[in-house]
Amino acid sequence: MERVEPSATRPGTAAAERSFDLAKGTVRELNQFLHHELPGSGVKHIDVLNPKGAHSIAVGIDHAVDIDVRGHGGYYLGGMNKFANITVHGNVGWGVAENMMSGTVRVKGFASESAGATGHGGLLVIEGDASLRCGISMKGIDIVVGGRVGNFSAFMAQAGNLVVCGDAGDALGDSLYEATLYVRGRIKSLGADAHIEDMTDADHSKVGELLKRAGFSYDPTEFKRVASKRSLYHWNADAGQEY
Amino acid sequence: MCGIVGLLIKNPAMRDQLGELMTPMLIEMAARGPESAGMAVYTQELSENERKYSVHAPQWDYNWAQFEGEFIKRFGTDAQLGVKGNHAILTCNEPAKNVKPWVKQSFPGLHILAAGRAMDIYKDAGHPADIAKRYDFPKLVGTHLVGHTRMATESAVTPDRAHPFTAGEDFCLVHNGTISNPFMIRRKLEHHGIEFETDNDTEAATRFLEWRMREGDNLEEALRKGFEELDGFYTFLIGTRDKLALVRDAFACKPAVVAETDDYVAIASEFRSLAHLPGVDNAKLFEPMPEELCVWSV
């Protein structure tokens, strides 16, 4: 793997820049650097060049660092992220920021299926559309999607917030637990146990804050709130399995 | 898991690069299907009365000259044979209803992979990179291609169970996923006199859709009937003489991504297969929605 010599583009932080060209090296070499050599290296910013849809770029990071991925990523980009701030200047494949713990992952293009799946924390911003199952089983992550989300989004979502600036597909929030969903556009259909609730002042300020962090300027009052009816929480023996 | 790849050239000047552009797409998808691979290529169409057959032999050094001699003796007509090891493209004036039963009876070791006026098929067990080399995929020339890399889930790894599957004439299909009701489909079609050659689920889908088109549906109508009758998970890429069609089931559990430019439409399971294509950075990139019909014409 060719590592570009530290550049002096940022005065006073000469060693703070690093560049990895995936046309010349492997994703494994990049991730090994991020896991083992990054701590204590003084590197604050990394450019990843020529990602060309490779899988597992910048996964499992446990340190604060800014990463710019210059192109389209493959599956699981930024998965399990902790502390890092990752920007993808392109689209991503399945499972972007899956199981993220903290930090930020921003996708300038569109995201394929299961974006932010099982995420525990941090902020995932998708500036374009997100495909099916966005936020499936999310556990505390905040997700803001600039475009629409596909079918079965926020399926079994347990905690956190999903803000959708466009439309939502079929079965939004099916079997929803305590995550809250906010949709500005049309909802094609709600999943089992999901319903629309009135927006409160707290919702307006939460949506406003998430939109601001994500860089969108929509009016929070344009959003609908979707939450759980909580009727699937407990097994009801009298229901004869008819729900 | 399997990999699908497809390429339709819009710019006629690029048709001689078809195989060259497609081969890296196929090899990149080897990670999704390292066991077998196949490619259907649509070449210049033969005249109304001519037919060509893609024939697969059990050995690489098969005695094709004997086959050709017997063919000429039987049909008393001229035939051309283009041989690539265990594959041969037989071009002649005989329709499938004459050729298929004769081959089955006289050369039971041979398997007719495809019949029609435009489509050639090469498929075999082995790593996709080896298969691409074996059959000179980079040199394939034509209007469009349908390719597949297979990771078997429900039937054996053999050349005849590799994709593409074909039915009728110039109709092929590759599949990523699993059909749950292939035997139900098969029983239904067998009542209509349709014969099956393998126990593979994809063959059932292929024969179902081709049967619908012979019954008068156009490609789009056949695919809509497929949504109703084919149960399971699938991304299908389908080739006809003048079209490529891409569909995903209602749950869209299997991937597909499309890159479209003024010069071509390229389809793959994952973007990494498309990353090397010229002009892909400025291509229109999208993923088909569940049950969306994506159909492109040559």
Q: Do B273 and A91 touch (CB under 8 A)?
A: no
Residue A243 has pLDDT above 80, yes or no: no
Question: Per-residue pLDDT for A10 more than 80?
Answer: no
* Range B69-95 average pLDDT: 93
Is the peptide bond prior to A220 cis by the omega test (within 30 degrees of 0)? no
Residue B230 token pair: 């084919």
Q: How far is CA B28 from the centre of its chain?
A: 18
- What's at A19, amino acid-wise? S
Residue B154: the pLDDT is 79
**Contact list, A174 vs chain B (CB under 8 Å):** none
The torsion of the CA quartet B184, B185, B190, B193, rounded to 10 degrees, works out to: 160
| Residues of chain B by 3-state class (helix, strand, coil), percent to 5 | 35, 30, 35
Confidence of residue B187 (pLDDT cuts 50, 70, 90): very high
Tens digit of pLDDT for each residue in A154-201? 999 999 999 999 999 999 999 999 999 999 999 999 999 999 999 999
Is residue A10 one of the residues assigned to a domain?
no
Mean predicted lDDT score pLDDT of chain B:
96
Examine residue A241 and state whether it is found in any structural domain, yes or no. no
Q: Is residue A238 part of a domain?
A: no
Q: Among partner residues B252, B271, B287, which is closest to A53 by beta-carbon distance?
A: B271
**Gap from A53 CA to chain B (nearest CA, Å):** 4
Domain count, chain A: 1
Q: What is the spatial distance between Cα B260 and Cα B252, in angstroms, rounded to a whole number?
A: 21
- pLDDT for B58: 95
Residue A89 lies in a domain: yes
pLDDT for res A9: 45
Q: At A2, is the pLDDT very low, low, confident or very high (cuts 50, 70, 90)?
A: very low
- Candidates 3.90.180.10, 1.10.620.20, 3.30.70.100, 3.90.1150.10; correct CATH number of B47-117? 3.30.70.100
Cross-chain CB nearest to A72 (options B252, B271, B290): B271
Q: Which of A226-240, B151-165, B174-188, B239-253 has the lowest mean pLDDT?
A: A226-240
Confidence of residue A235 (pLDDT cuts 50, 70, 90): confident
Q: Is A148 part of any domain?
A: yes
Q: What pLDDT digit, counting tens, does each position of A120-167 carry?
A: 999 999 999 999 999 999 999 999 999 999 999 999 999 999 999 999
Decide if A187 is inside a domain: yes
Query: Does residue A28 lie in a domain region?
Result: yes
pLDDT for position A241 = 62
Q: Does residue A195 lie within any of the structural domains?
A: yes
Query: What does the pLDDT average to over B159-170?
Result: 96
**Would you state the pLDDT for residue B70?**
95
- Contact call for B289 and A54, based on CB within 8 A: no
> Is B172 a catalytic site residue?
no
Residue pairs between chains A and B whose CB atoms are closer than 8 Å: 47
**Within 10 Å of residue A237's Cβ, how many Cβ atoms?**
7
Contacts of B257 in chain A (CB under 8 A): 112
pTM score > 0.90 for this model? yes
Residue type, B268: A
Grouping H, G, I as helix, E, B as strand and the rest as coil, residue A10 is: coil
- Judged against a pLDDT cut of 80, whether residue A14 lies above it is answered with no
Q: Is B287 close to A72, i.e. CB distance below 8 A?
A: no
Q: Select from B271, B276, B281 the Cβ nearest to the Cβ of A93.
A: B271
pLDDT in tens, B98-144: 999 999 999 999 999 999 999 999 999 999 999 999 999 999 999 99
Q: What's A154's domain CATH number? A: 2.160.20.60
**Band of the pLDDT at A3, cuts 50, 70, 90?**
very low
Nearest CA in chain B to A151: B251
More confident residue, B76 or A10: B76
Contact call for B275 and A132, based on CB within 8 A: no
Mean pLDDT over B163-192 rounds to 97
* pLDDT tens per residue across span A211-229: 999 999 999 999 999 999 9
Question: What's the rounded mean pLDDT across residues B1-22?
Answer: 96
CB nearest A74 (choices: B251, B270, B286): B270
pLDDT in tens, B132-159: 999 999 999 999 999 999 999 878 999 9
| Residue A89 DSSP SS3 | coil
**Residues of chain A neighbouring B271 (CB-CB closer than 8 A):** 52-53, 72, 74, 91, 93
Interface of B with A in 118-177 (CB under 8 A): none
Average pLDDT on A68-91 reads 98
CB A148 within 8 A of CB A169: yes
Domain boundaries, chain B: 3-45+128-297, 47-117
Q: Which residues have CB under 8 Å from B98's CB, separation 6+?
A: B75
DSSP A240: T
Residue B270 touches partner A, C-beta closer than 8 Å: yes
- Dihedral sign, Cα of residue B201, residue B206, residue B209, residue B210: negative
**Do residues A98 and A79 touch, judged by C-beta distance below 8 A?**
yes
- The domain containing residue A45 runs over which residues? 21-231
pLDDT exceeds cutoff 90 at B288: yes
Q: From the CA of B274, how many Å to the nearest CA of chain A?
A: 8
Q: Which residues of B touch A130 (CB under 8 A)?
A: none
- The third-level CATH classification (topology) of the domain covering B3-45+128-297 is Glutamine Phosphoribosylpyrophosphate, subunit 1, domain 1 (3.60.20)
Residue B255 and residue A94: Cβ atoms within 8 Å?
yes
pLDDT at A242: 60
